[in-house]
Structure 1
Amino acid sequence: MELRFAPAPAAAHREQAPEPGPDLRHHGDAEVRDGGEKLTDLAVNVRTGTPPDWLRAHIAGALDGLAAYPDGRAARAAVAARHGVPVERVLLTAGAAEAFVLLARALPVRRPVVVHPQFTEPEAALADAGHAVGRVLLREADGFRLDPAAVPGDADLVVVGNPTNPTSVLHPADALARLARPGRHLVVDEAFMDAVPGERESLAGRTDVPGLVVLRSLTKTWGLAGLRVGYVVAEPETIAALERAQPLWPVSSPALVAAVACMSARGVAEAADAALAVRDDREHLVGRLGGLDDLGVAVAAPAQGPFVLVRVPGAAAVRERLRGAGFAVRRGDTFPGLGPDWLRIAVRDRATSDRFVTALARALRG
């Protein structure tokens, strides 16, 4: 395996050609697919108790119009207004996953690079489209933080998550903006940004960053994974290219109605309140996990998303013991750059976290 070191501080990051290993198509839902009804789900990063009743009512109201083809104009305008950008900079998609496929197929990419550890679907989509994908691997010793100088100068597409799944790192917006340059698409996956109080470090409303492509999802905060709705904010030329690659009527009428509702003043306010609640519940979980340091538990900190990344000895065996105790957690070894001793844990209410930490302590003791 050839290693090519980027012009960053010595050994801070490394760019690595992908090799067979992590299953890029393994996601958290696989942890609960079998026996999930008996498990407390800490593997999927969807907020519990969602969608709220008022949002369900909006979606149900769309059922009367199912005979008509979907019309995305109102939803597109709502997203544009939410971020203060022209409608020409917005594209509605069937979840963020579709956006990754469109980017891989529609853009004339020669040298794509994905910053890892992060959500693996961008790399999988690029590989499926025939691209040779480079990786920039971030290190635990650096807090999984990115030095922009680590990204190869000739990369014409760079993908990074913010906050990053699974590390829960929130990169400074200015640091990410420094990755932009002429001839490069800078793709920032902000699927979890609405779970960050104030959405600080978001780039979604920026129009001064050349080549910027921001992806958003309504899945996580609103519990709409089964509805498939997300969107892209980018330069009009990029949006036009993605739209040409998109099938007709890609987003269903109920999903479009949900998008309008989530962009409303009520939706924005509720998401802001939810972000504060997640922050407080995360601090409680991290504090409880800190009490297990004598058992070898280490939390990647500071966590800023609705999940935490935890290193535990013998994680594979611990994960199976946790299943026996009624908890599903996300294995970490399918993320490039992480080894077999990592688990991702979704933030839940304090009572659930207390029960989980007790079960984890027992699992670690074998």
Structure 2
Amino acid sequence: MRTDAHDLRHHGDAEVRDGGAELVDLAVNVRAGTPPAWLRARLASALDSLAAYPDGRAARAAVAARHGLPVERVLLTAGAAEAFVLLARALEVRRPAVVHPQFTEPEAALRDAGHEVARVLLREEDGFRLDAAAVPEDADLVVIGNPTNPTSVLHPAAAITRLARPGRTLVVDEAFMDAVPDEREALAGRTDVPGLVVLRSLTKTWGLAGLRIGYVLAAPGTVAALERAQPLWPVSTPALAAAEACVSPRALAEAADAARGLAADRAHLVAGLEEFASAGVRVAGPAEGPFVLVRLPGAARVRRRLRGLGYAVRRGDTFPGLDERWLRLAVRDRGTADGFLRALERALA
């Protein structure tokens, strides 16, 4: 799907699909080295139950308990992407608005459902920070990511909740919030914000993009409306096992440790990128997610050169609000970052 030259259906996996194992993947925002062995074992044990239809009650209760909510406020989905489709098709929406730059599937899903979508474009000169005044007052559905893909901006929770009002559905995509130490600025679990819908994904931190598992947290009426739009048994038995496992105390502690390690690795990458400031390289920031957004001259040419040097990075021009000057880089360990920085030096030469 293309609108205004932006390919809304382009994703990071396209950058590595053709190169296969030969490319170091800095294009996809899935944590490297995952899923861990204990989670693989849990998934393997779920295969013994494949003859039975999926039963999501235990997983739904586990997610609800993790956020201190009743089960009526939880809906399990085949990844966060399914939730965007359900929101676009199940809710009565007249004037949706999407805050960009951000993950493009929400707008694509709304357009596929026949909606005309208003774009709210945050500005580079403002650090891509939320400007609530830019959101149309008559918007009855507003979508924003936090932390936002691809800008890595973490918006204050108070700034986002100021967008809430009677008659408006406020959708906050928190797919990467578990990569933020202490999940500060999270809205998951809040019940005091009118019209709030929070989306979470378990595919990024746990390396389960191929399994498809996420969930929606919302008022019971909204959850019921979305559930009616789902097909029968939308989440597989292994995915349900993953959902239950990934919200366990052990998993939450491991995710917290990973978030702290990621913050240190991100700081290392950003420091290395800032060494190229004289070459026109600029890091959008401060970055708070498991990726960084970089502006540099000749970014398309540099991306091709990096590919030839064995590194896949995500082009930025498919995101509304960005153009061909931008690249998104997934945060990896320091050794991988150092190798990438050496390759970048060659690509910029």
Contact 2:265–2:333 (CA<8 Å) still a contact in 1?
yes
- Distance, in Å, in 1 between the alignment partners of 2:77 and 2:262 is 26
The DSSP-based 3-state class of the residue aligned with 1:228 is: coil
- Distance, in Å, in 1 between the alignment partners of 2:213 and 2:133 is 34
- Distance, in Å, in 1 between the alignment partners of 2:30 and 2:19 is 18
- Distance, in Å, in 2 between the alignment partners of 1:361 and 1:149 is 41
The DSSP-based 3-state class of the residue aligned with 1:174 is: helix
TM-score (normalizing by structure 2): 0.99
Query: Which residue of 198, 221, 229 maps to 2:182?
Result: 198
Give 1:61's aligned residue: 45
1:36 to partner: Cα distance: 2.1
For residues 338-363 of structure 1, the C-alpha deviation after alignment (integer angstroms, 9 at most, x for no partner) is 01100000000001001101111110
Query: Which residue of 103, 109, 128 maps to 2:112?
Result: 128
Query: Which residue of 206, 210, 222 maps to 1:222?
Result: 206
Give 1:353's aligned residue: 337
Q: Which amino acid aligns with 1:61?
A: S
1:20 equivalent in alignment to 2:16: no
The unaligned stretches of length 5 or more in structure 2 are none
State the number of aligned residues: 348
Alignment of 1:79-158 (within 5 A): 79-158=63-142
For residues 142-190 of structure 1, the C-alpha deviation after alignment (integer angstroms, 9 at most, x for no partner) is 0000121211110000000000000000000011001000000000000
1:322 to partner: Cα distance: 0.1
- Distance, in Å, in 1 between the alignment partners of 2:135 and 2:25 is 35
Give 2:246's aligned residue: 262
The DSSP-based 3-state class of the residue aligned with 1:113 is: strand
The DSSP-based 3-state class of the residue aligned with 2:83 is: helix
The unaligned stretches of length 5 or more in structure 1 are 1-17
- Distance, in Å, in 1 between the alignment partners of 2:42 and 2:6 is 40
Please say which of residues 145-154 and 23-32 is displaced more in the overlay. Answer: 145-154
Query: Which residue of 16, 23, 29 maps to 2:13?
Result: 29
Give 1:338's aligned residue: 322
1:35 to partner: Cα distance: 1.4
For residues 268-302 of structure 1, the C-alpha deviation after alignment (integer angstroms, 9 at most, x for no partner) is 00000000010000000000000000111000010
For residues 242-274 of structure 1, the C-alpha deviation after alignment (integer angstroms, 9 at most, x for no partner) is 000000100000000011010100010000000
The list of structure 1 runs, each at least 4 consecutive aligned residues, that deviate by more than 3 angstroms after superposition, is none
Query: Which residue of 215, 218, 235 maps to 1:234?
Result: 218
TM-score (normalizing by structure 1): 0.94
For residues 4-33 of structure 1, the C-alpha deviation after alignment (integer angstroms, 9 at most, x for no partner) is xxxxxxxxxxxxxx9531000000000001
Q: In the superposition, relative to structure 1, how do residues 19 and 259 fare at CA in structure 2: closer, same or farther (>3 Å)? A: closer
Q: Which amino acid aligns with 1:71?
A: D
The DSSP-based 3-state class of the residue aligned with 1:61 is: helix
Give 2:34's aligned residue: 50
Give 2:229's aligned residue: 245
Q: Which amino acid aligns with 1:247?
A: P
Query: Which residue of 288, 291, 294 maps to 1:304?
Result: 288
- Distance, in Å, in 1 between the alignment partners of 2:347 and 2:20 is 19
Query: Which residue of 54, 78, 82 maps to 1:70?
Result: 54
Give 1:10's aligned residue: none
Matched-pair identity in %: 78
Q: Which amino acid aligns with 2:225?
A: A
The DSSP-based 3-state class of the residue aligned with 1:353 is: helix
Contact 2:122–2:131 (CA<8 Å) still a contact in 1?
no
- Distance, in Å, in 2 between the alignment partners of 1:340 and 1:309 is 12
- Distance, in Å, in 2 between the alignment partners of 1:312 and 1:327 is 17
Please say which of residues 241-250 and 146-155 is displaced more in the overlay. Answer: 146-155
Give 1:318's aligned residue: 302
- Distance, in Å, in 2 between the alignment partners of 1:137 and 1:316 is 22
